[in-house]
Amino acid sequence: MTEPGLVLRVAALGDGLTADGRHVALAAPGDVLLPDGTLRHGPNHVEPPCIHFPQCGGCQLQHLSDAAYTEFVAARVAGALMGQGVVPGLLAEPHISPPEARRRATLKAVRGGKGITIGFAQSGSHQIVDMHMCVLLHPALFGLVAPLRKLLAVQGVMGKAATIVMTLADQGVDLMLEGVTAEGLAATERLIDFAGTQRLARLILDEGEGSTMTLWEPEPVTVTFGGLPVALPPGAFLQATADGEAALVAEVVAAVGDAPTVADLFAGVGTFALSLARGRKVYAAEASRDALAALKSGGDRLPGRVFVEHRDLFRRPLVPAELNRFGAVVIDPPRAGAREQVIHLAAATVPVIAYVSCNPSSFSRDAATLIEAGYVLDRVRPVGQFRWSSHVELVGTFRRPS
């Protein structure tokens, strides 16, 4: 008989779930919730590697062993699929990004009585946890926290709060600051000196309402996809880790196979389009003009291979007559999915669809639509780029039987 307080699994939002249906914060599978409310730790409960856990909101699951966390990532995807009655041919072993691999992050800075506090917000709170170590961030990003604390402590640089957006590009860290001013020559020189001393790839001030000012960029900032450098627009989306990106790309490349023509929908700056473009033709659709211009800058290095179109796929999805021209389609929509585009895909005869998703729930909903129309979900690969968090990504490969 199962002990009522035994924690059987970790639920979607990160709480442990006991045999009698209770949710328990910071519990691992195998822990036991005792009658007095305390938790007896089991073999999957480990010592968190960071001194800021669990107060810092950057992580929710550092108390899980590596095996338990990997199982959680797989179960998040399996549970979402089951909820829609979807059974994949294969649920592949999850890819889990290692510690200190995050190459982009958004931190908050606040001014208080003891100086500047920089870090992530506490879970469920606006309170900022002052970051003095981080097992998530790439060392190049975390290495800027202490110097930024000193810079922002200078009167006149920031008011009560600022937002710090850091991205690791080919040339180094691309840093964007919101709530920081450069009024006057002295303030501007102070910021430029900081950029040079820290060897930043670029320093941008976000002035609000879509307006930015670049103070420092010794050479054009790029990211590389498929061996092709692409201009990185300020604030552009980039996969959270380089190894996670590689895992997603590898799944997409394997799914597409030798298809001579591919459509990449919601193409962004070209993560998949440029990785697929050698030896085949790729059509890329994207609504952001900045992202599309960046993608084109990389695609132009492969003349006649990459064709880009500015297209809002929510308002004007590709219809079956357009989709049927391609041997494969790659789709990487926002978290909410792309219901209208998926309806048209379901009505098309495209042989292969590689669906990249950052939301197992919306993916499973769309998967059910495609399967009902005759597609087979051949394979799903979960990807845990956001280590120790409940955020899970995946790639699903759909095939239409001939």
Catalytic residues: 358
CA atoms of 19 and 6, how far apart (whole Å)? 6
Amino acid identity at 166: M
Angle at which helix 145-153 crosses helix 185-197, to 10 degrees, equals 170
How many residues are present in the chain?
A: 402
